[in-house]
Amino acid sequence: MTEVIADSARAAQLRGRLTDELVNKGTIVSKEVEAAFRTVPRHLFAPGATLEESYAQDTVRTKRDEHGITISSISAPWLQAMMLEQVGLCPGMRVLEIGSGGYNAALMAELVGADGEVTTVDIDPEVVDRARSCLTEAGYSRVNVVLADAEEGVPKHARYDRIIVTVGAWDIPPAWVDQLTEGGTLTVPVRMRSLTRSITFEHAGDQLVSRSAEVCGFVTMQGAGAHTERLLLLRGEEIGLRFDDGFPADPDLLDGALDTTRVDVWTGVVIERMVPFDTLQLWLATALDGYCRISVDPELDTGLVSPITRRSNDAAVDGGSFAYLTARRLDESMAEFGVHAFGPGAATLAEAMAEQVRVWDRDHRGGPGPRIVVYPAGTPDEQLPDGRAIDKRHVRITISWPSADLPAAGHGARRERHRAR
């Protein structure tokens, strides 16, 4: 009993410290979300983790597949807090969470109160059983825990004032929209050209218009909504190019690209080190037809390519050439964006990408950010705004850029995790 009391006191101390950090960093801004974080015992939803691990500013991985890839987790506290602030839950609301784990549902139950209702759904029986057990142990047995493929939502408990998706989604099924109440919102980490943003959408006729957008990362959707990026490996497995769409028609053209001399172009665009450059990725994904992501295996890295980050970095392909974003230090506090490129058309592609960095710097850096709108699949091109149209199975997503003196529809991406080196 003494050990139990000691653990409980230590958990409360760690929970308070974690919440203080989130408040001090500005991630938690409302008293309601703060109170929920101070109340819900996060460690009860992380079986097998120590108290310190449960209350760290990190993801707690609860299940991996046969390849060791995380398929279920308790998201990092900053991400959960950010999304809850983004969603804006109030007492009495009915809310659906797609992608279960238990902890986030408990936080939402605190926010909607006894007069509200929380439903959480997951496709994995093991995850559902664990969520139900943890919620009961923590005192939140009133949460509806459902085993289902969420492609069809959860009609039994609909309609919902808020739907929050806590897995990475590639598409937006009609059921998610149909099960919202009038005036309800959908918050979903949607993947667009390999970039994921947590976007809160509201209705505007037959469209969904972004009200806020935040940088995020989640485990990917399973079931009917799953969509796998295509990977193109270069130099054995040292370098990978990932495509969400627009996979090269003839990828063999890139076979000899790395045998050419690397072309380096420096943009003249300077950024203070450790300062976010959050809209640059989305601008490049909008402006470049061959946009993709480049990654380098750290165990096989020969130093041939030097992107800003080896894990995932902006890149573009054109025929037998590819280019990618990099940066160089100018002094202890400043860095300059540049582009490296390989292949027979490296010089042209590198300059084209560098010019788009300059355009971003001139027209969109520090501006309102993009307007992201979801249209039904089949909407004719002439009915779409200027910008990039991204075709999914159920919808067409457009990314357009208002001029710097005009407001975007609720852009809020100000938490970019990619930094200049």
pLDDT by 10s per residue, the chain, length 421: 344 444 588 999 999 999 999 999 999 999 999 999 999 999 999 888 889 888 987 767 655 555 555 445 677 899 999 999 999 999 999 999 999 889 999 999 999 999 999 999 999 999 999 999 999 999 999 999 999 999 999 999 999 999 999 999 999 999 999 999 999 999 999 999 999 999 999 988 889 999 988 888 788 889 999 998 999 999 989 999 999 988 999 999 999 999 999 999 999 999 988 777 778 999 999 999 999 999 999 999 898 898 888 888 999 999 999 999 999 999 989 999 999 999 999 999 999 999 999 999 999 998 888 999 999 999 999 999 989 999 999 999 999 998 755 544 444 433 333 333 3
110, part of any domain: yes
Considering the domain architecture, whether residues 128 and 44 belong to the same structural domain is answered as yes
Residues 289 and 330 in one domain: yes
With respect to residue 417, please indicate whether it lies within any of the assigned structural domains.
no
Q: How many domains does the chain have?
A: 2
Let me know if 276 is exposed, middle or buried by CB neighbors in 10 A (0-12, 13-18, 19+): middle
Query: DSSP string covering 242-302, please?
Result: EESS---S-GGGGTTGGGSPPEEEEEEEEEETT---TTHHHHHHHH-TTEEEEEE-TTT--
Residue pointed to by tokens 């001029």: 403
Q: Does 84 fall in a domain? A: yes
Active site (catalytic) residues: 75
- Is residue 284 in some structural domain? yes
Let me know whether 162 and 201 are in one domain. yes
Q: What is the pTM of this model?
A: 0.87
313 located within any domain: yes
* Structure confidence at residue 7 (pLDDT): 57
d(CA 350, CA 338): 9
Residues 170 and 37 in one domain: yes
CB atoms within 10 A of CB 377: 12
Indicate whether 240 and 199 sit together in one domain: no
Interacting residues of 352 by C-beta distance below 8 A, sequence separation 6+: 288, 316, 323
In a domain, 249, yes or no: yes
Same domain, yes or no: 125 and 153:
yes
Which helix (DSSP H) or strand (DSSP E) does residue 109 occupy?
helix 103-112
Domain-located, residue 385: no
Q: Of the residues 198, 225, 252, which one is the last residue of a structural domain?
A: 225
Tell me the residue range of the domain where 186 lies: 2-225
* Same domain flag for 267 and 310: yes
Q: Write down which residue in 187, 207, 225 finishes a domain.
A: 225
Residue 33 contacts residue 108 (beta carbons within 8 Å) = no
| Residues 6 or more apart whose Cβ sits within 8 Å of residue 275 | 419, 420
Residue 76 counted as domain residue:
yes
In 3D space, the residue among 182, 167, 40, 177 whose CA is nearest the CA of residue 111 turns out to be 40
Same domain (yes/no): 81, 125: yes
Same domain, residue pair 187 and 327: no
What sign for the dihedral angle of Cα 268, 269, 270, 273? negative
Q: Does 178 lie in the same domain as 49?
A: yes
- Among 225, 246, 278, give the residue marking a domain's end: 225
- CATH code of 186's domain: 3.40.50.150
- According to DSSP, residue 169 is labeled B
> 216 and 238 share a domain?
no
